Chain A
């Protein structure tokens, strides 16, 4: 008997499921950053808003990269349903702390898929995710650096205004 399934799909079906979950996570991250951009814009952090609009676009690009990989591998890529996006934050610090938590959660999820792909001998998925592993180091580092800058600047007096201006250093 021929293995028609293997002839049709280049990756393990369990990895395909995990990649579909990751597509959802990236879409959720993109929507969350869009909500953060909205908060920043409404609260006068215009550079912060610009930063999060860009982050939202980047997360969508990540999502599409995984989506295309699943399709190219012969899999069933699923368009994600997104709900439960928080829109309320207590401060600019709260925003960036939430953003860091979000990035850490995405990193953990990617590491989990890499470990699963390794366990299953799915080299295609493992190699594909190499870029994401390094990208996450950069993403986490960016948010950490901004949180350090906020702490150094302080939020007293014109601090918030300076913080918003300095965020521009992390917009390419």
Chain B
């Protein structure tokens, strides 16, 4: 297993042998297939961080994130969500399927 990208709180790994990815969330390490990774990327990019600063749109400043077909459940605060966004952008930038990999 090789570390691909790290953010402040999380680390993204790839396992060539298992052909999958791992995210170390600190209290838990989650295994993801590529499809599950795409689904996570979609969920996280859909989170409007601006809503966390609007008491009516997000009262408590938390997000509930269900991963890998509801196998895992995370409750993340604003800073953790920002960090997770950064992790996924950083990890995808290491892949050829991403825009920045072309540069």
- For A8, what are the chain B residues with a Cβ–Cβ distance below 8 Å? 34-35
Which one, B15-23, B50-58, B62-70, B72-80, is touching chain A? Answer: B15-23
CB of A14 within 8 A of CB of B38, answer: no
| With A76-B35, A76-B42: A5-B96 Cβ-Cβ less than 8 Å | yes
Instruction: Chain A residues near B37: list those with CB within 8 A.
Output: 5
**When the two chains form the complex, which single residue of B20, B41, B92, B99 contacts A120, counting CB atoms closer than 8 Å?**
B99
Chain A residues with CB under 8 A of B4: 1
Residues of chain B within 8 A (CB-CB) of A120 are 99, 102
Assembly CA distance A115 to B41 (angstroms): 24
Indicate whether A165 reaches chain B with its CB closer than 8 angstroms: no
| B97 pairs with A6, CB closer than 8 A | yes
> Chain A: how many interface residues by the 8 Å CB criterion?
20
Tell me if A111 counts as interface (CB < 8 A to partner B): no
With A8-B34, A75-B38, A121-B102 already in contact, the answer to whether A13 and B97 are too (CB < 8 A) is yes
Interface size on B, residues (CB 8 A): 21
**Chain A residues closer than 8 Å to B38, beta-carbon distance:** 9, 13, 16, 75-76
Contact B98 A12 (CB under 8 A): yes
Per-residue CB proximity of A54-69 to B under 8 Å, as 1/0? 0000000000000000
User: For B96, what are the chain A residues with a Cβ–Cβ distance below 8 Å?
Assistant: 3, 5-6
- Closest chain B residue to A77 by CB distance? B38
Is the beta-carbon distance between B97 and A5 smaller than 8 angstroms?
yes
In this complex, which of B2, B37, B99 has the most chain A Cβ atoms within 10 angstroms of its Cβ? B99
Please report the C-alpha to C-alpha distance between residue A6 and residue B42 in the assembled complex, in whole angstroms. 18
In the complex formed, the residue of B with least CB distance to A73 is: B97
State the CA gap A19–B34 with chains docked (Å). Answer: 18
Interface residues of B in 9-29 (CB under 8 A from A): 14, 16, 19-21
Q: How far is the CA of A18 from the CA of B5 in the complex (A)?
A: 25
Tell me how far the C-beta of A2 lies from the nearest C-beta in chain B, rounded to whole angstroms: 5
- A9: which of B2, B14, B34 is its contact (CB, 8 Å)? B34
A11 within 8 A of B: yes
Report yes or no: B14 in contact with A4, Cβ–Cβ below 8 A.
yes
Measured in the bound complex, the distance between the Cα atoms of B88 and A68 in whole Å is 25
In the complex, what residue of chain A is closest to B40 when comparing beta carbons?
Answer: A76
Report whether A13 and B34 are in contact in the complex, using a CB–CB cutoff of 8 Å.
Answer: no
- 10 A-B residue pairs with Cβ-Cβ distance under 8 Å, sorted by A, are A2-B19, A3-B97, A4-B16, A5-B37, A5-B92, A5-B97, A7-B19, A76-B38, A76-B42, A120-B99
Chain B residues with a Cβ under 8 A of chain A: 2, 4, 14, 16, 19-21, 34-35, 37-39, 41-42, 92, 95-99, 102
